[in-house]
Amino acid sequence: MRIVVCESPDQVAMVAADESIEYLGLACSSSSQSQETSVLGLATGSTPLGLYQQWIKRHRAGEISFRNIVSFNLDEYCGVPPEDPQSYHYFMQENLFKHIDILPLNTHIPKTDCQDLPASAEAYEIAIAQAGGIDLQILGIGTEGHIGFNELGSSLSSATRVKTLTSKTRQDNARFFASMDQVPKMAITMGLGTIMNARAILLLATGVHKADTIRDTVEGPVTAMVPASILQFHPNATVVIDQAAASKLAHLDYYLECERNQQSL
């Protein structure tokens, strides 16, 4: 794992924007901004908002384009229709899609407004494979170490499926709902196997409330009790965090030295 420690949440957003723009060849002047399509995995939650604002700003400045991007979001709540302001469909529309030039037909979010949720999850996994797999997956992380809605105990090789949310996740997300009763109990989420199949991963975390889970993810054992720890097996996973989220890492000085040395190559 590559660990990049930033001074502030704003710097996390800038670094994530720079890394993703380069990796996906989004820059309008870039020679890789050809007709070739790249597949981008997207996340919701508070953490990626700074990155999305950076993308929007640079798109408005004419620097980057999403014309050749196909996107797949990590997850969607069950029982929340797409037009509901609490849905991840609505979140993505408001916070990213309507501000950039991605083609609506190229955006994908798990469908939960249907009768057969397991079939919908299976179809989503197939759609990702048919698009050629995910080139770059953006991830946030839950306070108990979930990525997507892969809660503790998730199979480390799971595919897209219906998952029950833990009470901690429901409490963490209750701030977006009028009452705890309204917080959904289930979601369709990409699996840990789906995420691990992405060619590159950018995990973002900010704030001291993420410090324990970042320590467990980076320095703890690989365990289904901390689902994000599976990323230790990924050949190209970068963790971009602020100083607060990095504050419980035992080997912080070493990670900083690694980055300095990499920059000098």
Residues that bind ligand PGA (CB under 6 A): 45-47, 140-142
Owner of token pair 């190209």: 236
Task: Please tell me the distance from the alpha carbon of residue 197 to that of residue 213, in angstroms, as a whole number.
Answer: 22
Q: Select 141 or 226, whichever has its Cβ closest to ligand PGA.
A: 141
Least distance in Å: CB of 37 to ligand PGA? Answer: 26
Q: Based on CB atoms, which residue is closest to ligand PGA, 95 or 155?
A: 95
The nearer residue to ligand PGA, 59 or 210, going by C-beta atoms, is 210
Strand 237-242 to 161-164 pairing: unpaired
Q: How far apart are CA 196 and CA 122, in angstroms?
A: 17
Least distance CB 125 / ligand PGA (angstroms): 20
Residues 6+ apart with CB under 8 A from 233: 196, 222
Pairing mode, if any, of strands 38-42 and 136-139? parallel
Using the minimum distance from each CB to ligand PGA, give the nearer residue, 143 or 232. 143
Sorted by sequence, the CB contacts under 8 Å of residue 16 that are 6+ apart come out as 48, 50, 51, 54, 138, 202, 204, 240
Q: Quote the least distance from Cβ 12 to ligand PGA, whole Å.
A: 11
Tell me the C-alpha distance between 79 and 263, whole Å.
Answer: 47
Shortest spacing between CB 97 and ligand PGA, in angstroms: 18
41 vs 140, beta carbon nearer ligand PGA: 140
Nearer to ligand PGA, 47 or 106 (CB): 47
Minimum distance from CB of 88 to ligand PGA (Å)? 11
Determine the 3-state secondary structure of 107 from DSSP.
strand
The distance of closest approach from Cβ of residue 147 to ligand PGA in the complex, given in angstroms and rounded to an integer, is: 7
Give 25 or 140: the residue with its C-beta nearer to ligand PGA.
Answer: 140
- What is the 3-state secondary structure of 9-27? HHHHHHHHHHHHHHHHCCE
* Paired tokens of 8: 């502030």
What kind and span of H or E run contains 238? strand 237-242
We find the least distance from the C-beta atom of residue 231 to ligand PGA, in angstroms, to be: 13
Chain position whose Cβ is nearest to ligand PGA: 45
